[in-house]
């Protein structure tokens, strides 16, 4: 075969789209063409994105026949507060954050003027999401999003995200930039494709929205997302407080809201003797006990829940909030975390089912010991004469199982 013939054959092979190993997955991908077309995606862009795309069945949070693992495996859902908000990590990132605060002072101040989000909070999100750009996202975003749309537990959500990623390609984002977490989030502050279109901003004025390599764009985009979710300019994310004696931990849930000044009248004292301004006392907050009565306690105002809307995890908010504080103030939490362990997801699910059966819990059975689960657990402890600490333990679970 001549060199010319070999060259022609290679061109023909490259022109033929590679088929996925899973025919059903290939069929699913092709079924998305009408929706992609309505978003303005061209046929060449669509075909190029689909070429050689195969599902990644190693991802968590998939609903596959015969698969028994419990998703998701994100650390904020399986670790204790002490494990997740690890002092060594906080101290290291805070030291970096202090330097970056000075390096990017002008940009951060300009972002705060426009969006109202404090520089330390924006830096803390950047630090948590990608270690200030030091952590390289390991996955191919298109493959992740396509897999989750095809076989994930949240197919509808990821179907929209995958289509938005195709639109990103059509709009000029290079295929090489689409690197992500296992959940499909991209860039220095980890945006899903839909968040890119809702919140990403060209802050460096170069005519491009670049959340991957432009620090001004990435940080301003994170600030804009918080602002769009309701961030209150100049207010704190939370206040660590000392609990009064005999506190009823079942009130530590979002629906129980009081002005901060009222909480203080009831014996909740700001940590380190912090003095609050009159305007702060008027702000409403709920009580947060991430480790029941064992660890630090917080009054959580509106901005706490805005960060939680950025990433739906109390531990994530604690990490970001505390890191933002540590960038400005070197002190750790006044009250340390305990040495409590965390139950496995299946054990917490069993607890949630029992609490639901007893009419104490009305939220999702998801194996996550969040605010509502901890409050419901406290109600069970009160009703059964157990020690009231609102923390899931093997002893409380055993008590529930004996009572069935």
Chain-wide mean pLDDT for the chain?
A: 91
Position 7 scores a pLDDT of: 46
Report the half-sphere exposure of 144 (CA within 13 A, side-chain side): 21
At residue 16, does pLDDT exceed 50? no
State the average pLDDT over residues 186-215.
Answer: 97
Lowest mean pLDDT among 6-15, 148-157, 269-278, 364-373: 6-15
Q: How far apart are CA 367 and CA 60, in angstroms?
A: 15
Whether the per-residue pLDDT at 35 is higher than 60: the answer is: yes
Query: What letter does residue 288 receive in the DSSP assignment?
Result: E
For residue 61, the model assigns a pLDDT of 82
The yes-or-no verdict on residue 107 having pLDDT over 70 is yes
Size of the chain, expressed as the number of residues it contains: 404
Mean pLDDT in residue range 133-160: 95
C-alpha–C-alpha distance, residues 69 and 71, integer Å: 6
Rounded average pLDDT over 211-217: 98
Residue 390 scores a pLDDT above 60? yes
Q: In what order do the strands lie in the sheet with 257-259?
A: 257-259, 284-288, 297-300, 239-242, 269-270
Residue 66 pLDDT more than 60? no
Q: With cut-offs at 50, 70 and 90, classify the pLDDT of residue 333.
A: very high
For residue 3, CA distances in Å to 9, 10, 33, 53 come to: 10, 11, 38, 30
Is pLDDT at 324 greater than 90 in this prediction? yes
| 147 and 29 Cβ atoms separated by less than 8 Å | no
């Amino acid at each position: 075969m001549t060199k010319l013939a070999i060259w022609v054959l290679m061109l023909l092979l490259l022109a033929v789209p590679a088929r996925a190993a899973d025919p059903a997955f290939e069929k699913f991908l092709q079924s998305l063409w009408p929706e992609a077309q309505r978003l303005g995606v061209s046929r060449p862009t669509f075909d190029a994105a689909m070429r050689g795309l195969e599902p990644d069945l190693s991802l968590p949070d998939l609903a596959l026949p015969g698969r028994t693992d419990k998703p998701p495996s994100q650390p904020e859902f399986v670790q204790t507060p002490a494990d997740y908000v690890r002092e060594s990590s906080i101290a290291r990132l805070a030291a970096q954050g202090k330097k970056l605060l000075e390096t990017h002072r002008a940009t951060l101040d300009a972002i705060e003027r426009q969006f109202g989000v404090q520089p330390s909070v924006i830096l803390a999100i950047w630090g948590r999401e990608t270690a200030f750009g030091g952590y390289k996202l390991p996955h191919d975003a298109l493959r992740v999003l396509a897999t989750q749309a095809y076989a994930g537990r949240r197919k509808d959500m990821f179907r929209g995200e995958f289509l938005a990623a195709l639109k990103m390609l059509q709009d000029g984002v290079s295929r090489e930039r689409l690197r992500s977490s296992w959940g499909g989030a991209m860039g220095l502050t980890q945006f899903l494709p839909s968040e890119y279109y809702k919140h990403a901003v060209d802050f460096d004025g170069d005519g491009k929205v670049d959340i991957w390599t432009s620090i001004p764009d990435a940080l301003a985009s994170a600030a804009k997302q918080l602002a769009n979710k309701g961030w209150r300019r100049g207010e704190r994310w939370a206040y660590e407080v000392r609990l009064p004696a005999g506190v009823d931990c079942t009130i530590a849930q979002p629906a129980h809201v009081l002005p901060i000044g009222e909480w203080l009248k009831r014996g909740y004292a700001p940590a380190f003797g912090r003095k609050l301004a009159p305007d702060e006392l008027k702000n409403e907050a709920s009580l947060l006990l991430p480790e029941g009565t064992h660890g630090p306690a917080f009054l959580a105002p509106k901005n706490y829940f805005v960060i939680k809307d950025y990433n739906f995890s109390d531990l994530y908010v604690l990490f970001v909030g505390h890191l933002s504080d540590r960038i400005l103030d070197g002190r750790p939490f006044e009250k340390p975390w305990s040495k409590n362990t965390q139950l496995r997801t299946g054990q917490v699910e069993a607890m949630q089912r029992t609490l639901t059966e007893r009419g104490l819990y009305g939220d999702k059975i998801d194996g996550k010991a969040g605010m509502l689960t901890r409050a419901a657990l406290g109600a069970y402890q009160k009703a059964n004469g157990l020690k009231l600490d609102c923390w899931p333990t093997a002893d409380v679970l055993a008590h529930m199982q004996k009572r069935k």
